Amino acid sequence: MDQRGSRSEVALERGAREVIAAPQRHACAGSSSISSRLWNHAFYWNCLSPRDGGKPSGKLAKAIEADFGSFDPFAIEFKTSAAGKFGSGWTWLVKRADGGLEIRNGDDADNPLRWSQTPLLTCGVWEHAYYIDYRNERGRYIEGFWQLTNWKFASRNLEAA
C-alpha cells in the first residue's frame, strides 16, 4: 500500500506545487480538483489502521444500527456500492445534515464536503488502490478493507460533526 499510495500522492503533490507556483496558468477548477484529490487521499489513509478493523463501537455503532439495522446490512450495502462504482473514485460513509448516515459514491475529486455532508469513512475504489494485490477483484479488496478500517478515526469524525 505504501508504494501505491506514495506514487499517487507524489503526483498530486507535484500538481499542487505547480498550481501554487503559477496560479495564473491553472484554471480554478484544476486547482480545486488537485487539492480535493489530495484531501481525499489523505482522508483515505486515515481510514486505515493495521491495529483496528472489525466493527465500530459506541455512538458510531449505534448510528449505523439506527440507519442500517445492524453492521452486517451496512457492510453489505457499502460493499455493493463500492463494488458497483463504475470506474474509479470513492465510496463514502457520510453524516447528512439531518443527522442520518448514508453511503455515497463519488468520482475523482468529489467528496462529501462538496455535498454539504460530513465524511466519516471512505474506501478508495481506484484501480491503483487494489490491482497489485487483488488484480481485478475489487470485491476481495473491499473485504480486506474491513480488516484495516480505522473505526476510531470514523468515530472521531462523527463526534466532531
Q: What value does the mean pLDDT of the chain take?
A: 82
pLDDT digits (tens, 9 = 90+) for 136-161: 667 788 888 899 999 999 999 999 98
Tell which CATH architecture fits domain 1-161: 3-Layer(bab) Sandwich (3.55)
Give residues with Cβ within 8 angstroms of 139, minimum separation 6: 79, 83
For the entire predicted model, the pTM comes to 0.79
Q: How far apart are CA 50 and CA 52, in angstroms?
A: 6
Of 99, 139, 144, which is closest to residue 118 (Cα–Cα)?
99
Q: pLDDT per residue over 39-81, tens digit each?
A: 888 899 899 998 888 899 999 999 999 999 999 999 999 999 9
What pLDDT digit, counting tens, does each position of 104-144 carry? 999 888 889 889 999 999 998 876 565 556 566 677 888 88
Give the per-residue pLDDT at 134: 59
